[in-house]
């Protein structure tokens, strides 16, 4: 079946260091979404990428969709303690009726 | 707008007991979802409803039933709870569209412990 894998599972960084999480799908995706979940909270939508090779930026966050539309990455520049949380990617099924979430990357930022 | 609401926030059950998790959204979305979240497993889809009156199985439907009562409400029922169903349950909704971002909006979650 369709799978969405994410690495690493955990990442500890010093405040000010950069952070990257990678997402890989077993199938080509029509789009990919990224969500952030703060500790004890619920997932919150960050962004959606649709085009092959697309790059989008939100302040210190850079999102990229691979040329083959099977992988994606989220890069945070100069992490801050407010970046703490788990970052998930999600891709739609072939029918588009449901989403498959990656296993998530838990980011800890050490002050 | 309240967005997506879930009740209860916390629940403790004994093995074999039944319960229904309630979810409602006030965004007039067509699609609604139930996920469970376990450590290291991410979010796994239990059931979804693409529109009022329809429901379909997701990745992990065994042990659960759902009802799409109307466009607003989507409930998840555990008929005979098992310890393996200890998890955090999230309800979500979205409005499918090919022209705008299809955001999933999540409720605050229900933390369920089955003893």
pLDDT tens per residue, range A11-48: 999 999 999 999 999 999 999 999 999 999 999 999 99
- Record: contact A101-B33, CB cut-off 8 A: no
Kindly state the percentage of chain A with pLDDT values over 70.
98
Q: Looking at CA atoms only, how far is residue B37 from chain A in angstroms?
A: 10
3-state SS of B6-73 is EECCEEEECCCCCEEEEEEECCCCCEEEEEEEECCCEEEEEEEECCCCCCEECCCCCCEEEEECCCCE
Asked if residues B100 and B108 have their Cβ atoms less than 8 Å apart, the reply is: no
- B35 chain-A contacts, CB cut-off 8 A: 101
Confidence class for position B92, pLDDT limits 50, 70, 90: very high
In the prediction, which pLDDT does B101 show?
A: 62
- Is pLDDT at B102 greater than 80 in this prediction? no
Q: Which candidate in A25, A98, A100, A103 is best for mutational testing of the B interface (most B CBs within 10 A)?
A: A98
pLDDT (0 to 100) of residue A67: 95
**Band of pLDDT at residue B16, cut at 50, 70 and 90:** very high
% residues pLDDT > 90 (chain A): 86
Sign of CA dihedral B77, B79, B83, B85: negative
Residue A85 in this model has a pLDDT that exceeds 90: yes
pLDDT score at A98: 82
Of B59, B102, B106, the CB nearest to A42: B106
Structural element, H or E, at residue A54: none
**DSSP state, A41?**
S
3-state secondary structure of A87: strand
Tell whether the torsion through CA atoms of B65, B69, B71 and B75 is positive or negative: negative
Contact between chains at A98 and B102 (C-beta distance less than 8 A): no
Contact flag A88-B40 (C-beta cutoff 8 Å): no
Rounded Cα gap, residues A33 and A97, in angstroms: 14
Q: Which residues of B60-95 are buried (b: 16+ CB within 10 A; e: fewer)?
A: bbeebebebeebbbbbbebeebeeebbbbbbbbbbe
Question: Residue A95 above 80 pLDDT?
Answer: no
Residue A72 has pLDDT above 60, yes or no: yes
Q: Do A97 and B50 touch (CB under 8 A)?
A: yes
- Optimal mutation site among A45, A102, A106, interface B, most CBs of chain B within 10 A: A45
The confidence score (pLDDT) of residue B95 equals: 82
Asked if the Cβ–Cβ distance from B90 to A42 is below 8 Å, we say yes
Q: What is the mean pLDDT of chain A?
A: 94
Residue A92 has pLDDT above 90, yes or no: no
Mutate to test the interface with B, among A37, A99, A100, A106 (most CBs of B within 10 A): A99
What pLDDT, on a 0 to 100 scale, did the predictor assign at position A51?
94
Min distance A15 CA to chain B CA atoms (Å): 24
Nearest CA in chain A to B39: A103
pLDDT above 60 for B115: yes
* The pLDDT of residue A94: 77
**Residue A67 DSSP class:** T
pLDDT value, residue A12: 97
pLDDT band at B54 (very low <50, low <70, confident <90, very high): very high
pLDDT of residue B58: 92
């Amino acid at each position: 079946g369709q799978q969405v894998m994410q690495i690493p599972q955990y990442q500890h960084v010093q405040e000010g260091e950069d952070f990257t999480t990678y997402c890989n799908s077993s199938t080509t995706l029509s789009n990919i979404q990224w969500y952030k979940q703060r500790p004890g909270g619920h997932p919150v939508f960050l962004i959606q990428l649709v085009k092959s090779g697309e790059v989008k930026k939100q302040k210190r966050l850079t999102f990229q969709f691979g040329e083959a539309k099977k992988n994606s990455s989220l890069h945070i520049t100069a992490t801050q303690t407010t970046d703490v949380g788990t970052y998930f990617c999600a891709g739609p099924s072939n029918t588009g009726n449901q989403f498959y979430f990656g296993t998530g990357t838990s980011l800890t930022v050490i002050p | 707008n309240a967005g997506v609401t879930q009740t209860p926030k916390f629940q403790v059950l004994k093995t074999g007991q039944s319960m229904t998790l309630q979810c409602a959204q006030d965004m007039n979305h067509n699609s609604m979802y139930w996920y469970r979240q376990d450590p290291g497993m991410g979010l796994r889809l239990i059931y979804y409803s693409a529109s009022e009156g329809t429901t379909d199985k997701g990745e992990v439907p065994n042990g659960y039933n759902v009802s799409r009562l109307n466009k607003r409400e989507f409930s998840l029922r555990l008929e005979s709870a098992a310890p393996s169903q200890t998890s955090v349950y999230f309800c979500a909704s979205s409005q499918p569209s090919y022209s705008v971002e299809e955001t999933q909006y999540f409720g605050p979650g229900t933390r369920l412990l089955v003893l």
